[in-house]
Amino acid sequence: MDASVPRNKAQDPILRLQGLSKRFGGLEAVSGFTMTLERGELKGLIGPNGAGKSTLFHLISGLYKPTKGNFFLEKNELTGQTPDKIVAKGIARTFQTVKLLENSSVLESMRTAFFMSYGYKPWDLFFHTKRYRRQEEAFKEKAHEYLSLLGVQDLMDMNGNELAYGLQRKVSIAMTLCLNPKILLLDEPMAGLTHTEKNELTETILRLKERFELSIILVEHDMKVIMNLCETIAVMNQGRLIAEGSGSEIRNNAQVVEAYLGTSDV
Amino acid sequence: MDYFLQQLINSLGWGSLNALMAAGYTMTFGIIGLVNFAHGEVMMVGALTAFWVMVFLQLPFWLGCLAALLGSIVVGLLIERIAFKPLRGAGMISLFITSLAASFGIRTLFIMLFTDRVKPFPVPDFLKGVLLLGNLILFKKTILIVLLTLFFCGLVIYFVKYTKTGAAMRAMSYDPEIAGTMGVPTERIIVVVFAMASFLAGLAAIFWGIKFGSVRCSMGVIMVVNAFIASVLGGIGNVSGAIVAGYIIGIGETLFVAYLPDHLVGLRPLFVWIVLFVLLIFKPSGLFRPNIK
């Protein structure tokens, strides 16, 4: 019996979505969405514009409260929790549009992400106590480390908002690493990047996944990226999960083709 | 020249009141986009609490001050909890209308219960004298008000700029959603900000009482218009900007009245509207950069 417990635990999915729904007035943006994410899995989430992918991310990150359904991280139910609690439990996300703090350095933007791990008090700051200096050192070291993983460590003191789009995106991914995530939700991280940048970022994502033992859901429009990167692909249309499987299964799925191209008899 | 300097010195007390109110006003705007017209009532309730403690209960001055601060903080947090919290995520207009309703509601309730008659605010003797500086007269109470205002404003600016709560406030003023997903406990920060803003309003209530020697239920109306215009002038959401702009408005208004012919003194309230009018034409974003800084 003792042996069976850890084995079962290892097989439990890390994230479980059960019939998640979100209704805005007359529109059901996400509708009865059920899906699981295994530990260490990299799942691609695709679907036409307006399929509800971003809404689903908003639900999982706590920005929206689901109208129906619930979701679990490991054994913990997270339904209805606030974004900061969900982040603290280990689900971090990026946004489609990158927003770094205005007129602040990259380092300052990253400081926000360290909010929860700050341990010093205002007086430590005022008197520049040892505790303050130690934490500042640690913070800068971590920030530098995470930025290096994305190859943007030289930008630490630059104004975040003036960086090129692709670089801002990398910074925002580095920020999510500061949150010690178990699960990363990446919302179109490749949009607007050049071909080379996409290849680079693809490799980086794989590297981060290994290093931090992440489970990732990736929303992306570039099918090449999705096919290269993801072990499994989930397809969403009109708020529903219409197919899930490997790249070739998805490519040959009639419903998926229909969702993207429309039916032939229209 | 002496007349000008004397008026300038006299205006500093009123400037301080404006600065304290504008700072609180601009903070709530910064983090939840709320134009809080009920902020004047937060001050009024503090002032009335102090009046009640000092005049009815006959308790000492310092307890009255403590009561004013507590009264303001309690009512500020109650308004947040009852009127604004249910509207999270709603647009600016909904929040604006709700704040107007809260302001009218609280003011009317207090006027019904206590009338709008002027109520005495006992000022202790040590604040009553004057100091002479050449030909100029310095009121002791004005000195105290200015020094304490500068001290607490400095504290607030330090807090916003350097502490982790301040960092969270800045992140929220930029984008509350992203702040939340970066681990900022947004609801807790909102409570802290309302408590801070209400504390400043409580201070303003005490200073109003000390300056004028009386308080009344409609005192919040005048104050909130000035605070609103000062916070726009200071670049809305910008705390240090609001403090500077509060002084500009308070000093400007006093000097405006000082140089008006006697029969036109009733035009005093016109001053802030002229400021707003000129501001909206020439520099609608305010003198300083918007957003919490």
Question: Where in chain B are the domains?
Answer: 2-282
Question: Where in chain A are the domains?
Answer: 15-261
A210 by Cβ neighbours in 10 Å (0-12 / 13-18 / 19+) ranks as exposed
Partner-chain contact B291 A102, CB within 8 Å: yes
- Output the pLDDT for position A111: 81
- Within an 8 Å CB–CB cutoff, is residue A102 touching chain B? yes
Instruction: Retrieve residue B283's tokens.
Output: 């520099």
Nearest neighbour of A83 by CB, restricted to B170, B171, B180: B180
Identity of the residue numbered A97: T
| Cα gap B238→B18, rounded to integer Å | 15
* Residue A218 C-alpha from the chain's centroid: 7
- Within an 8 Å CB–CB cutoff, is residue A105 touching chain B? no
SS (H, E, C) chain B: CHHHHHHHHHHHHHHHHHHHHHHHHHHHHHHHCCCCCCHHHHHHHHHHHHHHHHHHCCCCHHHHHHHHHHHHHHHHHHHHHHHHHHHCCCCHHHHHHHHHHHHHHHHHHHHHHHCCCCEECCCCHHHCCEEEECCEEEEHHHHHHHHHHHHHHHHHHHHHHHCHHHHHHHHHHHCHHHHHHCCCCHHHHHHHHHHHHHHHHHHHHHHHHHHHCEECCCHHHHHHHHHHHHHHHCCCCCHHHHHHHHHHHHHHHHHHHHCCCHHHHHHCCHHHHHHHHHHHHHCCCCCCCCCCC
Q: Are A109 and A162 in contact (CB under 8 A)?
A: no
Write the Ramachandran bin of B115: left for phi over 0, alpha for psi from -120 to 50, otherwise beta: left
Partner-chain contact A112 B289, CB within 8 Å: no
- Residue window 66-85, chain A: list those with CB within 8 Å of chain B: 82-85
Residue in chain A lying closest to B187 (CA): A82
What is the nearest CA distance from A61 to chain B, expressed in angstroms? 7
DSSP, collapsed to helix, strand or coil, labels residue A136 as helix
Summarised one tens digit per residue, pLDDT across range A190-235 is 888 888 888 889 999 999 999 999 999 999 888 888 888 898 999 9
- Calculate the average pLDDT of chain A: 85
The owner of tokens 């008006």 is B260
Summarised one tens digit per residue, pLDDT across range B263-274 is 888 888 899 999
Mean pLDDT of B109-134: 91
Among residues B44, B46, B49, B34, the alpha carbon closest in space to that of B100 is found at B34
- Within an 8 Å CB–CB cutoff, is residue A61 touching chain B? yes
Partner-chain contact B183 A63, CB within 8 Å: no
Q: Are A247 and A228 in contact (CB under 8 A)?
A: no
- Within an 8 Å CB–CB cutoff, is residue A111 touching chain B? yes
Mean pLDDT of A110-122: 73
Partner-chain contact B182 A125, CB within 8 Å: no
CATH number for the domain formed by residue range(s) B2-282: 1.10.3470
Q: DSSP code of A100?
A: P
Nearest neighbour of A112 by CB, restricted to B163, B182, B187: B182
Instruction: Retrieve residue B88's tokens.
Output: 């999270």
Predicted TM-score (pTM) of the model is 0.86
Summarised one tens digit per residue, pLDDT across range B220-274 is 998 999 999 999 999 888 899 999 999 999 999 999 999 988 888 888 889 999 9
Q: Which residues in A lie closer than 8 A to residue B184 (C-beta atoms)?
A: 84, 112, 115
- Within an 8 Å CB–CB cutoff, is residue A88 touching chain B? yes
Q: What kind of fold does domain A15-261 have according to CATH?
A: Rossmann fold (3.40.50)
What is the side-by-side strand order in the sheet with A232-237? A91-93, A183-187, A215-219, A42-46, A232-237, A240-245
Summarised one tens digit per residue, pLDDT across range B183-219 is 889 999 999 999 999 999 999 999 999 999 999 999 9
Give the least confident one: A66-75, A116-125, B96-105, B117-126: A116-125
Say how many C-beta atoms besides its own lie within 10 A of residue B134's C-beta.
Answer: 7
HSE-up (13 A, CA, CB side) for residue A168 = 19
HSE-up (13 A, CA, CB side) for residue A159 = 4
Please, which residues bridge with residue A24 across strands? A27
Q: DSSP code of A64?
A: S
Mean pLDDT of A246-253: 85
